[in-house]
Structure 1
Amino acid sequence: MQRRQLLASLAAASLAPGMSFAQEGKPLRMIVPFPPGGATDMTARSLQEAMARILKQPVVLENRGGAGGSIGMAEVARSPADGLTIGVATLSTHGVNPAVYSKLPYHPTKDFVGVTEIVKAPGVIVINPKALPVKDFADLVKYLKAHPGKVSYATPGNGTIGHMWGELFKSSTGTSMVHIPYRGAGPAINDVLAGQVAVYFDQVASSLPHIKAGKLKALAVSWPQRLDVLPDVPTYAELGYAVNNDPSWFGLVAPAGTPAAAVDRIQQAVAQALQDPAVRERLAGQGLYPSGSTPKAFSAQIAREIDKMKGVAAFAKVSLD
């Protein structure tokens, strides 16, 4: 009996403060608010095995797609705050959606506690060089000012990240373009490649093959420094447009009220998993750059992103209610 009590005490002491021994071994739900196969899903799957090994508990992915990520995030928000449910938050779910919808089935800050940022994804503005006679970013701005409202840009739909990036570009450069929303990224980029629409705002990973093939021309990237894969393409900040220089991102949130010890435990597991060469290789294959952050820093980042996107939505008069 004394030996069993000693072993139980040692096991409990090895856990993060405030965590019950029962947490270890119980499944951790990771809710992905988008369908399988996309970048959000791939980010979660890249971490799944490493996190399970580090936490010593199964990590079970649940894809709850729909309504721009709102259905999945609402499921996270109403889940028990017991440290056994987390959700993959994105620039869409915790930046764009709160800016373009006045009514959401979740509150982006009150219903969640930030756990950590996982990765960042650089953005890019591309043009079809056959559809638009410009050689670089400055030339594009000059051309747009000389031809207000005559050039169109494509996006995967109203209220998407591409839409908000396009409107932010118009606001920061003082230019005018016509927004052409499509039903998804595939149709949008296909029409840009065909020359039906001249400009597209995208993540680098998606457009890179077309850039390398010479079908699209990259004019600027949203990243702290020039990318190794596009060394000749300047950042927005280099060009004097720092407000456009923020990349996309993916992170983790937990239901509000989740104990700090549980949040810290998961954050530390993600930080450790992001050092795994196999994890980093899988993420790099998707054009995603491991980052990581503290719960406090990620919560503050979400708040800043919401304020920024609300400003863009107000400028563009974007409301999807």
Structure 2
Amino acid sequence: MQRRPLLALAGLAPFAPAVLRAQEANWPARPVSMIVPFVAGGPSDIVARAASQRMAQTIGQPVVAENRPGANGEVAARVVMRAAPDGHTLMVGSIGVWAINAALRPNLSYDPVRDFTPLTLAVTNPNVLVVNTEKHPTTDVPGLIEWLKGRRGAASYSTSGVGSSDQLTTELFKLRTGTEITHVPYTGGAAAATDLIAGNVDISFQNLGTVSGHIAGGRLRALMVTGERRHPTLPNVPTAAECGLQDFVVTSWQAFMAPPNMAAPLRDRVAGALRDALMQPEVKTRLEGIGFDVIANPPEEYSRFQQAEIARWREVVQRANITAG
């Protein structure tokens, strides 16, 4: 009687690797869920939907983008970290989800390195400082700084959430310029941009992919970009350095991850399908047209990049004394 459970467990020992091999060989056996941790319309959502449409054609199964916003990605991350590592649940997240949260929030309920399997760094792009074209009087950064100082803390800025790159970018802007601006967080970049257009907040540092259409449509005015050089889609908009702000280069990014402990052969198949989708001419052209730089690198390369970003932002958070509150 006592030996029966041990024999049962022993019988299962060779079964687990066989199951894993079968999963790898049969992937995808059903539709793939691509979890997006923000509301529809933001950069994570844009990248997810662009990749999912092309990926579905390649793998022969539907790839469905699902928006699960909340806590700057934490809600979605908890779902994915508990999912089976069988390639049918993936997640695309921002620099905030995969790097800044770890640097900013000591009680984070997930570890962006340990609790996920890296797949690929999808895209990068700078943030852009924008104001409402009709409701804001300033047309350049010196004028904005003067206006903000005259407001004496009454001005506000919108972001895609607490711990997002746009929040940290604005906090660094405050430190560099000696201004006071009240943080108004939203559940994604699209919502942050919408309220700026409505005139409910004064400024925002948004991901270029989120606001490029609004800039082109005249609803938002771009004052500067946070890249090392001017961006091809905004050739007349100066960099932070050109505006007199040194050491102010911030590149936002989006990356794909899977649940933890995914077998390396399956990881490589899934990552390869994602990279192939991102590099297809129609997808790459679409993403580049709204300000993204498509990277689509291998899992190991992305993993090294992610860990370097976590270390970088942890140093920034500590030096600037930025808290999640």
TM-score by length of structure 1 reads 0.76
**In the alignment, structure 1 residue 24 sits paired with structure 2 residue 24:** no
Displacement of 1:37 in angstroms is 4.2
- Quickly say closer, same or farther: Cα 1:55–1:215, change in 2 above 3 A: closer
Partner of 1:318: 323
Name the CA distance, whole Å, in 1 between partners of 2:210 and 2:65: 24
Contact 2:233/2:290, CA 8 A, preserved across alignment: no
Structure 1: how far apart are the matches of 2:85 and 2:134? 54
1:249 equivalent among 228, 250, 253: 253
Aligned to 2:180: 177
Aligned counterparts of 1:254 and 1:86: Cα–Cα separation in 2: 5
- Contact 2:233/2:289 (CA < 8 Å) preserved in 1? no
Tell me: CA distance 1:23–1:318, structure 2 relative to 1, closer, same or farther (3 Å): same
Amino acid paired to 1:23 = N
Q: Deviations over 1:80-123 (max 9, x none)?
A: 33444322121121123223332223111111232101122331
2:283 alignment partner in structure 1: 279
Amino acid at match of 1:261: P
Residue 165 (structure 1) aligns with: 169
Instruction: Deviation per CA, 1:16-53: give whole Å up to 9, x if none.
Output: xx965633341344322234444322321211232233
Give the Cα separation in 2 of the matches to 1:299 and 1:187.
30
Give unmatched runs, 5+ long, in structure 2: 1-19
* Structure 1 position 309 matched with structure 2 position 304: no
Match of 1:70 among 52, 70, 74: 74
Say if 1:168 and 1:296 are closer, same or farther in 2 by CA, change over 3 A.
Answer: farther
Counterpart in the other structure of 2:5: none
Shift of 1:283: 2.9
Q: Hey, what's the Cα distance between the residues in 1 that align with 2:228 and 2:124? A: 11
Q: Unpaired segments of 5 or more residues in structure 1?
A: 1-17
Distance apart, 1:166 and its partner CA = 0.2
8 Å CA contact retained: 2:36, 2:48? yes
Q: Determine helix, strand or coil for the equivalent of 2:279.
A: coil
Letter in 1 for 2:260: A
Report the RMSD for the aligned CA atoms in angstroms: 3.5
Query: Percent identity, aligned pairs only?
Result: 31
Q: Deviations over 1:202-243 (max 9, x none)?
A: 123444455446664423213353223311112235557574
SS of equivalent to 1:121: strand
TM-score, structure 2 as length reference: 0.75
Could you list the per-position Cα deviations for residues 51-98 of structure 1 after superposition, in whole angstroms to 9, with x for gaps in the alignment?
233345543444333222212111221223344432212112112322
Per the alignment, in what secondary structure is the counterpart of residue 86 of structure 1? strand
Report if aligned partners of 2:117, 2:260 keep a CA contact under 8 Å in 1.
yes
Quick check: 108-117 or 33-42, which moved more? Answer: 33-42
- Map residues 69-88 of structure 1 onto 2, 5 A cutoff: 69-88=73-92
Range moving further from structure 2, 34-43 or 268-277:
34-43
Output the amino acid matched with 2:157.
A
Count of aligned residue pairs for this structure pair = 301
User: What is the CA-CA distance between 1:148 and the residue it aligns to?
Assistant: 9.4
**What is aligned with 2:226?**
222
Give the drift of 1:174. 5.0
- How do 1:84-233 residues align onto structure 2 when only pairs under 5 Å count? 84-127=88-131, 136-137=140-141, 143=146, 149-150=152-153, 152-156=155-159, 157-171=161-175, 173-183=176-186, 189=193, 192=196, 198-212=202-216, 216-233=220-237
Provide the residue aligned with 1:10 in structure 2. none
Instruction: Kindly indicate whether the alpha-carbon contact (under 8 Å) linking 1:151 and 1:198 is maintained by their aligned counterparts in 2.
Output: no
- Aligned pair in 2 of structure 1 residues 82, 181: CA closer, same or farther (>3 Å)? same
Give the drift of 1:196. 6.8
1:113-160 CA distance string (max 9 Å, x none): 32101122331013457877765445656x489769557341135434
After superposition, residues 251-266 of structure 1 pair within 5 angstroms as 251-266=255-270
Q: Secondary structure at the match of 1:119?
A: strand
CA distance in 2, matches of 1:53, 1:170: 46
